[in-house]
Amino acid sequence: MTHPTTNSAPEKITTMTNEPNNKLSNALWRIYQRPERPVAWTQGGNLPWNDPDFSERMLREHLDQAHGAASRVEQERLLQIDWLWAKLDLQPGMHICDLTCGPGLYAVELARRGCIITGIDFAPAAITYARALAEQEGVADRCTFIEQDIRTVHLPAHEFDAVLLLYGQLAIFPKAEAEQLLAKSVELLKPGGAFAIELLNQNRVDKTDSRWWFTDHTGLWGDTPFLHLGERFWDDDAALSTERFYIIHLETNQMTEIHLCDQTYAISTMSNMMQQAGFATADAYPRWDGVPLYDADEWVVYVAQTGRG
Ligand SMILES: C[S@@+](CC[C@H](N)C(=O)[O-])C[C@H]1O[C@@H](n2cnc3c(N)ncnc32)[C@H](O)[C@@H]1O
């Protein structure tokens, strides 16, 4: 028996319905009809950190000491904090703003060392945890945690001795927003204040396209059986990767689509951007300046300073 073959895929879904039995079919059609390459930042560009359920699941990853994917494990974190303490010349009593503070693991340690902390993050479970951790460590009076988007949060100008933006989050914003965040950091700092930011090393980033899939019943993407389908696209001209995830929840046939963008920067580009934003100096430290982190090779830490006025 021969099977008729065709090279032309149907262009349109003829019947799309919300009936539960058709949800899976609709989801599969959506995948089938996806644009070949997603256009960066047209459908979000960040993980849904601020979704309450996702944020609860992500918190487990932050605290998991078996890996450092969401927050680095404690031993490495303390080495980083020692390095930042020396390099930024931090002192007890200084005011520090931790942008994208997550569950406050850096912030609370800095408060334990005597600093006065303002931590900003828009993940609800992370902020709840950070507040509880500060209480537990007896430093709640030195910590303020604010659940807000770092792009829109309003903070007093020239209040901080240091601003931190750790673990790569600047990269998930389009360049214009990244520039605004750098300028905002300048504005937050006192004259002579220090800024530390950590970004992926552009030379080390995977510059290939790839696809993958897996199934699970627990983890970041859900706590009931799901199928995760992922694709990664590297745009060489823009030096940016866009990942597109489809997660099909098998018990409900609901599908979630997430796009995650990661803008990479050459060291010279980022140093220029920091000077354009108003920093007087900007130094780059590839490989975390030798701090022994398991993935240190992948990162560059920049330390910048505002002028003394
Ligand atoms: C990889 S985690 C790092 C957290 C923390 N810096 C650490 O290393 O433990 C990134 C954090 O950035 C936060 N985040 C991402 N985009 C944000 C935004 N626009 N406003 C506030 N927080 C954001 C997420 O909620 C998450 O807690």
Instruction: Tell me what the pLDDT averaged over the chain comes to.
Output: 94
Question: Which range (14-23, 62-71, 127-136, 175-184) has the least confidence?
Answer: 14-23
**pLDDT at 302 (0 to 100):** 98
CA distances from 261 to 62, 189, 235 (A): 20, 28, 11
CA distances from 1 to 4, 6 (A): 10, 16
Structure confidence by residue, pLDDT tens digits, 20-70? 568 999 999 999 999 999 999 999 999 999 999 999 999 999 999 999 999
Using the predicted structure, report yes or no on whether residue 14 has a pLDDT greater than 60.
no
Task: Tell me the CA end-to-end span of the chain in Å, nearest whole number.
Answer: 84
SS (H, E, C) the chain: CCCCCCCCCCCCCCCCCCCHHHHHHHHHHHHHCCCCCCCCCECECCCCCCCHHHHHHHHHHHHCCCCCCCCCCHHHHHHHHHHHHHHCCCCCCCEEEEECCCCCHHHHHHHHCCCEEEEEECCHHHHHHHHHHHHHCCCHHHEEEEECCCCCCCCCCCCEEEEEECCCHHHHCCHHHHHHHHHHHHHHEEEEEEEEEEEECHHHCCCCCEEEEEEECCCCCCCCCEEEEEEEEEECCCCEEEEEEEEEECCCCEEEEEEEEEECCCHHHHHHHHHHHCCCEEEEEEHHHHCCCCCHHHEEEEEEECCCC
Structure confidence by residue, pLDDT tens digits, 242-257? 999 999 999 999 999 9
The residues lining ligand 1, judged by C-beta closer than 6 Å to any ligand atom, are 46, 49, 70-71, 100-102, 105, 120-123, 126, 149-151, 166-167, 169
Using the predicted structure, report yes or no on whether residue 7 has a pLDDT greater than 60.
no
When pLDDT is cut at 50, 70 and 90, the band that residue 18 belongs to is: low
CA atoms of 68 and 292, how far apart (whole Å) = 13
Using the predicted structure, report yes or no on whether residue 19 has a pLDDT greater than 70.
no
Using the predicted structure, report yes or no on whether residue 297 has a pLDDT greater than 60.
yes
Query: Order of strands, edge to edge, in the sheet holding 240-249?
Result: 210-216, 226-235, 240-249, 254-263
**pLDDT at 10 (0 to 100):** 43
The answer to whether 269 and 203 have CB atoms below 8 angstroms apart is no
Q: How far is the CA of 50 from the centre of ligand 1 (A)?
A: 9
How many Cβ atoms are within 10 Å of 300's Cβ, its own excluded? 23
Q: Which residue has the tokens 């950091």?
A: 185
Q: How far is the CA of 58 from the centre of ligand 1 (A)?
A: 11
**pLDDT at 4 (0 to 100):** 36
Q: Is 252 left (phi over 0), alpha (psi -120 to 50) or beta?
A: alpha
**pLDDT at 309 (0 to 100):** 76
Pocket mutation for ligand 1, best pick of 49, 58, 185 (most atoms within 8 Å of C-beta)? 49
Structure confidence by residue, pLDDT tens digits, 255-272? 999 999 999 999 999 999
Domains and CATH numbers, the chain: 39-46+204-263 (2.20.25), 52-201+265-305 (3.40.50.150)
CA atoms of 120 and 96, how far apart (whole Å) = 11
Minimal-distance CA residue to ligand 1 atom 2 = 70
